[in-house]
Structure 1
Amino acid sequence: MPRTPQSTYRLQLHKDFTFDDAAAIANYLRELGVSHVYSSPYLQAAPGSTHGYDVVDHRRVNEELGGVAAHKRFCEKLGETRLGQVLDIVPNHMSLGRENHYWWDVLENGPSSRYASFFDIDWQPQEERLRDKVLVPVLADQYGRVLQAGGIEVKRSGNRFLVCASEQQFPTSPLSLTAILPRAAEYAKSDTLSFLAASYGRLPVPEYWDRRLILTRHRDKTVLNKMLGRLCAEEPAACEAIDRAVAELNANQDALDDFLSQQNYRLSYWKTADQQLGYRRFFDVNTLIGLRIEREHVFEETHELILGWLKEGVLDGIRIDHPDGLRDPLEYFRRLRAAAPEAWIVGEKILEPGEFLRQEWPIEGTSGYDFLNVALNILVKPEGVAELDRIYAEFTDRSTDFHAIAHDKKLAVTQEALGSDVNRLTSIFVNICETNRNQRDYTRAEIRRAIREVASCFTVYRTYVVPSRNEITSEDREVITAATECAKANRSDIDGGLFDFLRDVLTMQVTGKEESEFVLRFQQFTGPVMAKGVEDTAFYCYNRLTAMNEVGADPSRQGSTIEEFHAYNAKMQATHPLTMTTLSTHDTKRSEDVRARMAVLSEIPEVFAHAIYRWSENTTQHRASFLDKGTQYFYYQTLIAAWPITPDRMKAYMQKAMREAKEQTTWVANNKDYEDAVNNFIDGTFSDKAFLAEVETFVVGIKRAGWMNSLSQTLLKLTGPGVPDQYQGTELWDLSLVDPDNRRPVDYDLRRRLLKEVHVASLEQIMQRIDEGLPKLWTIHRGLTLRRRHPERFGETAAYTPIIATGRKAEHAVAFLRGDSVATIVPRWTMSLNNDWADTKIVIPEGRWHNHLTDEPLLGGTHLLSQLLAEFPVALLTKEEE
């Protein structure tokens, strides 16, 4: 079996959908036409994980999914059904907690831990009181108040001592046991306890880079722990004395405070994390700590199991989560490629409009967000989107300048959620300025503001400057220069020379050890700024047409031309013909079918405007006076696109959307009055039969056009350059919203039954059952089966050639050839097309052809679209072999 997939099917594994559950649908997936199962991360994750990105052990298979035995059964079943396997992996970060033995060791031993070098921790921050300590922001209140209230205590568990706080447990430093064991030795009159107390106190304290001494310390500590355990087992009086000393420690606040100050971590109020956290996180998630994957021993230990599976053929490919979080993505991919030369590798690289994957990266492509946005932009109508600009501004009285909103939200997130990252960068840059006499008078406050502004002006996730290789592209230089000029223009209150100096450091015009460190860390910082500021905030504040608010998108665009669509595909075929293409993922803000229906609004903006103004007026009795028009606009749009939907699903979604927007309420400061008002509004509208009847009527009027959009983008995905991915369950109409809504259980019994039925149904019957999703299932099944049987028609050598329609409705048709043997023809803007193609036609190359979706034969030459698309909304033509 070729290692490069012909298609993938994404499965979200968790304790309620295990390896055995996945194995049970293998036959169905094979019959559907899939070539490879594409699984969410399934190494050992934190307990109860619903997604697998919170890995705690890279050397074990997740026990909640069934462990090693179930994994073996799953892989054997895939082999039996001739399905390959692709796995999502997480190199950037790990989850914290006791289950992560690396992290537990770091908390116990600090910089002297065997695993201190595994994590991206700043052991020497500006705040002296945090030197050689890890901030652990878990307390519900200020540390002193929690301590005074008895919320922190020490407990013995066998031969170990634990600090217990906020329903969590933390290890104790071996050196700190001198506060317990000497007193216990006195009570027990035990020379052995005295010896152990002194021995713990004499353990060496090496730095993380002194591997030999670290291992010596670990050996000695292990011996002492065993001796203590044996003593407790053989001399109960010694244990009783220890427990007495621990009880006295807990009863004395000053003594307990002193004991806690001796630990390698500092317990703190959870709110301190934003400004004082000393380790790099995944975005702003305190429980996900950054890995130093660039260190060879870290790479080898965390990838051993994955690389073994690739070598053995258990896996054919891997998807790399968040490569932009890595210190040097190119070096990582080179190391990965060297270790797995035959593997199909794609990276979750988020590309902004006009940005393309670096060709020097030795991987097949991205995880498909770039295609997703290109496909949607070809379906929205530019004139209608422009009209929605006016409607949105008039109805909500909000700004329609998305880029200004995005900039402001990025700036806010650098001040709040990512404040600790800014502080770390600021400290490095202060040191740089101190060693350059022309810059040494810039203050810490100025530098901090300048860094925030430059990061907020970035138009892409990050650049890829590598000082150790003196590596910078013209693209990187242009991005950095544009961002610093933008920042300089925005902040006239800051000396422009500071921005020039930042530019020079980031472009390696000024070099040095500190400068290199700043460049690398700044590049790891701008991605989280984009993700948290734009995708998780601005995308919920700017709601003109929320179908366009998708990862890697510019929601302010007016759509794209057919020429731009063809140019993108031609470039993909030339540079990354085996990239992944997708329409829905576990992280998309809305499912493909929600976006497809919502795109129809760009064809009927005036109808949409009349509806929302009428609905706003007719629902006044359900609405609190302080419920703003922006919330209403967002709600009506979502209701249309996701209908039918239950009140509970809508409430959960609206709460998440509002908290992400951070305008009326937030995750950390809930505005209960506003959230209750929104819930009451939802309940009121769902109990209003007249209102629901109007919503139903509106949806009935556009849903067929939405289905046509869905079929069009589905066939574009199946036949365009790349490897198409199908997100679980979306082979039927799927009106899911953002997670966790899009991770609801999938009814595979229904899908099995419908797949059997489409085999025997006529096209007329399939179209009659359009409400059930049969046309989509049929299109996917036929498209995937064709790819699996004829991979040569879609691979690296299958050229991409636009087919240009002619006639009065030519702008409604998108068509192209793959090689000389496959033709794809799909409609767009079908609401305004109204099934009238008039004289529009296309030319198919000479030869005998076959419509793979209708089983009709046809000859090459000129064909009217009204005839080609008479029986089925989209056409997939294949040339018969000579």
Structure 2
Amino acid sequence: MTSTYRVQLTPDLGFPEVARLTGYLRELGAGRLYLSPILQAVRDSQHGYDVVDHGRIRAEFGGAAALRDLAARGIPLIADIVPNHMTVPQPESGNAPLWSALRDGPDSPYARWFDVQWPVALPVLGDEPGGLVADGSVLRYYDHAFPIRPGTEDLPLPELLEAQHYRLVNWRESPGYRRFFDVSSLIGLRVEDPEVFEATHALMLSLVDEGIIEGLRVDHPDGLADPRGYLERLRPRVPGPLWVEKILIDDERLPADWPCDGTTGYDALNMITRLFVDPAGRDSLVETFTRHTGVPASYDSVRYEAKKHVIELFFRGEVDRLVGALGDPGLRDAAVELLAAMPVYRAYVNPGEQPSAESVAIVQAAASQAATRADPDAVGKTANLVLYGPAEAVTRFQQTCGPVMAKGVEDTALYRWYPLAALNEVGGEPDRFGVSAGEFHAFCASLPPTTMTTLSTHDTKRSEDVRARLAVLSEMPAEWSRAVASWASSVAFDPRLDYLAWQTLMASWPITTERFTGYLLKAAREAKTAISWQNRDPAYEAGIREFAERAVEVCGHSVASFTAVVDRYARVNSLGQKLVQLMMPGIPDVYQGTEITDFSLVDPDNRRPVDFERRRGLLAHPDDSWDGQKMLVTTTALNLRRRLDPASPYEPIEAGEHAVAFARGERAVAVATRLPAGLERRGGWGADTLMLPPGQWRDLLTGRQHTGRIPLGHLLSRYPVAILER
């Protein structure tokens, strides 16, 4: 295992289309082909996480036969699996296990599949009365369809509704089931039940047994009742690689007792991004941000308010179930404050087990903060119960922490506090500006050789090259402040959104008005300061559209000129972070299309079709454009990784303030320029040198031979990076 290449399957990019890419991917240097979910999902789904049938390979991709043909092309396959949830489709009959459970309630053989409270509340009703019609054995409500409990078909409608194993409630209410974050159309599965685990994993594990699929990537393990127990059951059945989409915050590390190969790489992504951010720009960027937006300079306060906001907006039902499990309604405020204070997605406490010292420390630290906002005695009691109390209380708290973090931080706070949006990534800490080369080396030394690393995914808030541009602002904050002041004086809408809009417009330029508008609508809904997904305001949304159009029309020329200056340095960042990610410890993943520049924004923008013909052409005939240079760096590094032992030791090499360098064993050395604007201001490399390990080294990008101590100005005269092989 040397690397992976992630492909987002869609009805337009199924197994036959991907099979035609395998020759290109092999030449690029990809070691494995990493597929988004392949089980049957909602027919038109563009992502595949809304599974409706665990027993079928998705028909829109070509089905099982086309999957086998793809596997026969010679690149081993990694597949994404979704153990935490299924979808609640429209009509609901599209999910047969759920249909059975709703029809027959606790007596259904599928009732144990779903994490529900009977009768289960289904939030589907609109604000206007009417629309419900009993149609034989089916209850219809516009596009929805629900099974009628046998024997109740002839009851009058009010009595019929009361006789069902479900209750239809307003769409704004919390559902009577655990869901994926706040998405009521995704219903939680109970894979901790061995029968449910076997039923929902049988097909995927049979593909592993056959050798069709080599390894698995587990989606959202923090949603499960017992992530470690789940992996202990899965690991013996998957001899190949097994990764988990675990979001680690700052210095947090993957639990040591999880039997898997590592994370999907957000921890590496955030560390690499910080490596190319200049901490000296922090104060100026925060000042510019607060001046334009009126948002507080303290990220901590914004994060806290955002988490409290989403708990009230989305998770009242989840808190109700937690408080019920705690056994004391008087602990509700304490439970809410404890959830809001949790610094990570989960503390990994299992019922009936003595919690680890680390888990206790996490909960107690949160309790200390919560005690400043709620009754200290109640907080202390709540913290004790979620550590040592009833099994359901322990598990419910763990399963609620993740959604509160994800929606409160990822999907709210990061859209409210963004002095430098490059830092506002999944698992990122936007107030932590930059790391030194030494801190980066220490991080790499702690990485297992089998963990995944990445720079872009289907879930990143912005692509790696958008972040490469934004990182430059940390080196030229005064120039940025003047530019954004000029633009804002010409076009303005909502100060809480505009500043993010200007960063986005510059960093994704050139961008169509349609894409720009789509991003701003999503950003505003996620921020929840003026509108949200639940509370639309047609006038405000029209204002966003008008702002986007005018920003492009009035300021586009100026934005393009500023971006051209930024790109002199962003290209250096782009190539540097790509090389570092591909050569550092771990198994590097390349997200589809990012072998050349990609200026995509948050999904669905980052799932747009990829122009593979352009990439084929650049692979065959690389030019000296940014795209050509990024392709050259990517394919050179990926093919070198094929010749390296993944466990090759990581050895830092001293390279000064403006470079990062390291050796991988005795065969490879990577060197990347960092903070290029500052390097230019100081007059270039001057007398800076780098001492190579013993031996004769060839730069695979230029063909030059090097040995001993080399002037960095010579080593990096052709490209801002060097890939050396002995």
1:157-236 to 2 correspondences below 5 Å:
161-177=137-153, 179=154
SS at match of 2:663: strand
Partners of 1:597 and 1:278 in 2: CA distance: 44
Q: 2:277 aligns with which of 371, 377, 380?
A: 380
Match of 2:537? Answer: 671
SS at match of 2:473: helix
1:705 equivalent to 2:569? Answer yes
In structure 1, what residue type is equivalent to 2:392?
E
Deviation at 1:590, TM superposition (A): 0.2
Deviation at 1:687, TM superposition (A): 2.4
Match of 1:467? Answer: 351
1:10 equivalent to 2:6? Answer yes
Deviation at 1:306, TM superposition (A): 1.2
Deviation at 1:64, TM superposition (A): 1.3
SS at match of 1:56: strand
1:328 equivalent to 2:194? Answer no
Conserved 8 A contact 2:247-2:266: yes
Deviation at 1:836, TM superposition (A): 0.9
Conserved 8 A contact 1:353-1:552: yes
In structure 2, what residue type is equivalent to 1:829?
L
Q: 2:638 aligns with which of 756, 777, 784?
A: 784
1:705-784 to 2 correspondences below 5 Å:
705-758=569-622, 766-767=623-624, 769-770=625-626, 773-784=627-638
Q: 1:695 aligns with which of 553, 559, 563?
A: 559
Match of 1:188? Answer: none
In structure 2, what residue type is equivalent to 1:877?
L
Output one character per residue of 1:237-273: Cα deviation in whole Å (capped at 9) or x when no partner.
xxxxxxxxxxxxxxxxxx2211222111112221223
Q: 1:830 aligns with which of 665, 676, 680?
A: 676
Q: 1:410 aligns with which of 307, 315, 332?
A: 307
1:354 equivalent to 2:234? Answer no
The answer to which structure has the higher helix fraction is 1
1:498-517 to 2 correspondences below 5 Å:
498-508=378-388, 511=389, 515-517=390-392
Partners of 2:127 and 2:510 in 1: CA distance: 43
In structure 2, what residue type is equivalent to 1:498?
A
1:263 equivalent to 2:164? Answer yes
In structure 2, what residue type is equivalent to 1:730?
T
Deviation at 1:685, TM superposition (A): 2.6
Deviation at 1:18, TM superposition (A): 1.0
Match of 2:122? Answer: 136
Match of 2:698? Answer: 850
Match of 2:117? Answer: 122
Q: 2:395 aligns with which of 520, 524, 540?
A: 520
Partners of 2:104 and 2:208 in 1: CA distance: 35
Conserved 8 A contact 1:827-1:874: yes
Deviation at 1:13, TM superposition (A): 0.6
Match of 2:523? Answer: 657
Partners of 2:192 and 2:72 in 1: CA distance: 34
Output one character per residue of 1:421-466: Cα deviation in whole Å (capped at 9) or x when no partner.
001111121x2x4xxxxxxxxxx2x422111110000000011111
Q: 1:680 aligns with which of 539, 546, 561?
A: 546
SS at match of 1:169: strand
Aligned length: 721
Conserved 8 A contact 1:388-1:602: yes
In structure 1, what residue type is equivalent to 2:158?
D
Q: Which has the larger radius of gyration?
A: 1
Moved over 3 A (4+): none
1:872 equivalent to 2:726? Answer no
Conserved 8 A contact 1:815-1:824: yes
Q: 1:804 aligns with which of 642, 649, 654?
A: 654
Match of 2:294? Answer: 397
Runs of 5+ consecutive residues of structure 2 not aligned to the other structure: none
Match of 2:501? Answer: 635
Q: 1:615 aligns with which of 487, 506, 528?
A: 487
SS at match of 2:196: helix
Q: What's the TM-score once normalised by structure 2's chain length?
A: 0.98
Conserved 8 A contact 1:134-1:264: yes
1:75 equivalent to 2:94? Answer no
1:53 equivalent to 2:49? Answer yes
Match of 1:604? Answer: 476
Conserved 8 A contact 2:68-2:212: no
Partners of 1:122 and 1:22 in 2: CA distance: 42
Q: 2:417 aligns with which of 522, 542, 550?
A: 542
Partners of 1:278 and 1:38 in 2: CA distance: 35
Conserved 8 A contact 2:321-2:396: no
Deviation at 1:586, TM superposition (A): 0.3
Partners of 2:43 and 2:524 in 1: CA distance: 28
Deviation at 1:395, TM superposition (A): 2.5
Conserved 8 A contact 2:6-2:34: yes
In structure 2, what residue type is equivalent to 1:447?
L
Partners of 1:270 and 1:685 in 2: CA distance: 36
SS at match of 2:300: helix
Deviation at 1:704, TM superposition (A): 2.2
Partners of 1:568 and 1:272 in 2: CA distance: 43
Output one character per residue of 1:591-621: Cα deviation in whole Å (capped at 9) or x when no partner.
00000010000000000001111222233xx
Deviation at 1:397, TM superposition (A): 2.3
SS at match of 1:811: coil
Conserved 8 A contact 1:138-1:166: no
- RMSD across aligned C-alpha pairs, in angstroms? 1.3
Deviation at 1:833, TM superposition (A): 1.1
In structure 2, what residue type is equivalent to 1:349?
K
Conserved 8 A contact 2:307-2:407: yes
Deviation at 1:842, TM superposition (A): 1.0
Match of 2:173? Answer: 272
Partners of 1:803 and 1:376 in 2: CA distance: 20
SS at match of 1:34: coil
Partners of 1:610 and 1:34 in 2: CA distance: 43
Partners of 2:162 and 2:547 in 1: CA distance: 51
Output one character per residue of 1:46-94: Cα deviation in whole Å (capped at 9) or x when no partner.
12111011111111101111112222222222x2xxx111000000111
Q: What's the TM-score once normalised by structure 1's chain length?
A: 0.81
Match of 2:427? Answer: 552
Q: 1:453 aligns with which of 314, 333, 337?
A: 337
Deviation at 1:396, TM superposition (A): 2.2
Match of 1:92? Answer: 84
Deviation at 1:679, TM superposition (A): 1.3
% identical equivalent positions: 41
Match of 1:38? Answer: 34
SS at match of 2:134: strand
1:483-502 to 2 correspondences below 5 Å:
483-491=366-374, 494=375, 496-502=376-382
Match of 1:363? Answer: 260
1:295 equivalent to 2:197? Answer no
Conserved 8 A contact 2:644-2:667: no
